């Protein structure tokens, strides 16, 4: 037993003699693992780039719970959503004078709604970030510098004014007393809405365009077909503008066959496109094709 004890004691002495304390300033061999540049400090980003603004301002000071985390526009959760919700994005909540059009306009700090929301003293509008410390002068200048540089995106590309085809947001049908008749359906929704026989009614759609007022859209008309996908022999009827945002056509249910589904499409053209927009199209889902239909019964 004594011999075994001496052996164990000798092993311990050997281990102690081999131990060498690692100094506190020794380099960490894993410090740069997964980071080829060896720099993860967000402050190293250009603070006037959109990536820098998102990392240092929008995502940390605005995208807080119950604010711009997807609960309310603009959505600052991702850099892509933040950019698309700011640059050339129409203002939703404006001032009393309705003096702003877009949240951010490249090269135009004074007419960018974002700047107004960050500095306003209007208690109704509320200065952003709401209920939090306002941005300091340096942070504000970084945002202005980005706008004055033309609002380059996260890849450094200059902002381009959007120019989409006109879009249809909704459809409706009103009887002679302006009472909606498109709320009763022939089957499980979405399905053709029911129009009573022998009545006059107005069929309409809500139209939006990013550059042209609805009243200035061209070639506005509806087409009607008994085929969901074949409009080659469709009946065409011109549309008129109603309340500056709707296109309507006056119809009489006598003109349509009883108990047969009528599919309709709306067409219009803005000043920047050579071809009209169509909604729904052959490639639209059956949901929209069925939603844009009625039956006289």
Give the tens place of pLDDT for each residue, 231-260. 999 999 999 999 999 999 999 999 999 999
Tell me the C-alpha distance between 200 and 214, whole Å: 25
> Tokens representing 83?
């950019």
Question: Distance of CA 14 to CAs 7, 17, 18, 226, Å?
Answer: 11, 5, 6, 95
Give the tens place of pLDDT for each residue, 183-226. 999 999 999 999 999 999 999 999 999 888 999 999 999 999 99
pTM: 0.56
pLDDT at 90 over 70: yes
Burial 242-280 (b: 16+ CB within 10 A, else e): eeeebbbbebebeebeeeebbbbbbbbbbeebeebbbbb
pLDDT above 70 as % of the chain: 80
Tell me the C-alpha distance between 199 and 157, whole Å: 55
pLDDT at 1 over 90: no
Fold assignment, 167-296: Immunoglobulin-like (2.60.40)
Tell me the C-alpha distance between 285 and 193, whole Å: 18
> Tokens representing 201?
């009614």
For the chain, the domains span 45-148, 167-296
Give the tens place of pLDDT for each residue, 106-160. 999 999 999 998 988 887 787 887 767 888 999 999 999 999 999 999 999 989 8
Residues 6+ apart with CB under 8 A from 84: none
């Amino acid at each position: 037993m004594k011999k075994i004890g001496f052996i164990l004691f000798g092993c311990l002495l050997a281990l102690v003699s081999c131990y060498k304390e690692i100094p506190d300033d020794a380099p960490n061999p894993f410090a740069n693992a997964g980071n080829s540049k060896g720099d993860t400090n967000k402050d190293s980003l250009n603070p006037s780039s959109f990536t820098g603004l998102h990392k240092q301002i929008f995502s940390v000071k605005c995208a807080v719970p119950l604010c711009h985390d997807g609960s309310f526009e603009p959505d600052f959760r991702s850099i892509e959503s933040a950019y698309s919700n700011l640059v050339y994005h129409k203002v939703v909540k404006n001032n009393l004078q309705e003096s702003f059009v877009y949240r951010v306009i490249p090269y135009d700090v004074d007419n960018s709604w974002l700047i107004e929301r960050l500095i306003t003293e209007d208690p109704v509008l509320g200065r952003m970030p709401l209920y939090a410390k306002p941005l300091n002068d340096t942070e504000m200048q970084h945002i202005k510098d980005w706008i004055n540089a033309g609002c380059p995106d996260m890849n450094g590309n200059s902002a381009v004014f959007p120019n989409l085809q006109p879009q249809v947001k909704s459809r409706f049908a009103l009887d002679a007393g302006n009472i909606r008749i498109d709320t009763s359906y022939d089957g499980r929704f979405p399905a053709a809405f029911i129009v009573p026989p022998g009545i006059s009614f107005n069929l309409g759609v809500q139209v939006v365009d990013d550059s042209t007022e609805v009243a200035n859209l061209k070639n506005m008309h509806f087409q009607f077909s008994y085929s969901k996908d074949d409009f080659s022999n469709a009946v065409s009827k011109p549309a008129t503008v109603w309340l500056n945002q709707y296109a309507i056509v006056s119809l009489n249910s006598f003109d349509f066959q009883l108990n047969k589904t009528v599919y309709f499409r709306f067409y219009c053209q803005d000043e920047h496109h050579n071809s009209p927009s169509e909604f729904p199209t052959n490639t639209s889902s059956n949901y929209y094709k069925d939603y844009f239909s009625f039956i006289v019964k």
